[in-house]
Structure 1
Amino acid sequence: MRCAVLGALAPALAIAIRIARMKRDCWLVVSDRQEADRIQEEGERRILCTVNASYAVRRADLIILADGVLPSITRPEPEECSTLQSTFHLHPTASSLIAWLDTKLRPEQMLLLCAHVEPGTTSLLRSSLHAEVAFMASSTFHRPMPILLGTKDGQAVPMLVTWFQGMRRELCWQSDYDAEMLQDYAATALQGGSGSDKGMSQTSRQKWHQLQAKYGPFGVKTERYGDWRYS
């Protein structure tokens, strides 16, 4: 299976590196050929770079949208968000992103949103596009802990189960709205804050406390995931 990653350079590259270490084919969309050459020179040869976002999306089985595709709601926009445009994000609104993706996606493709976005964005994309859409909390993907994934009904998606087998990490399934809320809460907690569960559903709040009880505070490396960076 082939993956395409779009977004600001820093978050998109971080995702692409981890995907490539799973020995998956990965296209990373970059701003220019010089940027692609620099990534190759730094040793990330498993990552294929392209400046043609449409080409990458059409050829991929899984399309991952990282921070920088849409405006962030939890932190200032980084300079790297100018990767594909002169502005801080590729699309100013979800409607703009939908219009761009609508002519490129096929029903058998999977769209995975891995960004700090307004809760409800995943559901909006799913209802507007002819493809399966899910959410992944980047706060958990980049740390030694279960990967938090959000789907329409909170049930496992076979394609994602297969895709992440190489990481040897547990997958935690939630509704996409609850996963989006948990992402914001987890990001605050991982930065040393107490976080706020205001706006969370009761189910989401309970799940958060269950995760902490089972695996300890977010960000604490456990023996179970000691080799997580290279899995």
Structure 2
Amino acid sequence: MVTAVSPSDNSGDGLSLLPDDILLHILSRLSSDPRDWSRLACVSSRFAKLVGSVCCRSWCSHFIPTVTADLLSGSDDLPGGWAALRKLSMCCPGLHHAGVLLDEYPSPKRDRRSIWEPHLAPSHWGFSREEGSKLLAGRFRADCLYVSQWPGCVHAEKRRKYFVFRGVFKDFKQSSVWKAVNEVKKSRVEAKCAFCDGKETWDLHSAFCLRMELNLHEGAPIVRAFVCENGHVSGAQVRKPLHL
């Protein structure tokens, strides 16, 4: 996805004179490449508003209707915004945001930078509440977590294979997980959300929110996941080759 910049109020020659319905019709024709709306949102504040509030909401309602309807039940507000949900539905958060390599490689300097930062996933995997429930410890099973369907985005390194997933909590600020991450001081991490502008992030592993049987193998975490203040989750399951 394109890195966001502050859009100006000048939307270009002639385009600023078009009514919203005409602009939305034009924007609807530019949805084949997922990056186009992100680029246009950088052009002007008007484009950014139309893309974020109308185009992305319509896209989510069409392609992930069940998740969209559930996240909105009883509320008209979507924490993090519609553009973030659309990005989450089609983008891998990358290894850096998933957190599994922070301890091993604090300053990645590899040529394959595409696997470190958010990038388009191989396909639209959809989301499953059942998969989210499998990740959470027993006392958090009442929370609603939608996670991308297995296997997510697969990255094979020399010594490990990473199955990178992403997800979103429903009503995160009312969830038991939210209460837990705030109670554990060591759970706060210096990592930005891969999908929204959330400035606060917590480690679900450090806050004991993940299933214990998934957590450790020979002293190292098998599953690592971060959650931002808007309930967006970035994580990965680590698998080592059998010969190691």
Same fold (TM over 0.5): no
Higher relative helix content? 1
TM-score for both structures, normalised by structure 1: 0.30
